[in-house]
Amino acid sequence: MQSETRSHIEQLKSPAGDAVAVLRLEGDIASTSKDAVLGAYQSLPKESNPLILLDFTKVDYINSSGIALVIQLLMEASTAGQKISICGLSPHFNKVFTMVGIPKYATLFPTHAEALAAL
Question: What is the residue extent of each domain of the chain?
Answer: 6-118
pLDDT band at residue 97 using 50, 70 and 90 as cut-offs: very high
Tens-place pLDDT, residues 100-114: 999 999 999 999 999
Element (H, E) at 9: strand 6-13
pLDDT of residue 44: 87
Distance from first CA to last CA of the chain, Å, rounded? 36
Tens-place pLDDT, residues 37-56: 999 999 988 777 789 999 99
pLDDT of residue 48: 75
pTM to 2 decimals? 0.93
pLDDT of residue 100: 95
Q: Which fold has domain 6-118?
A: Transcription Regulator spoIIAA (3.30.750)
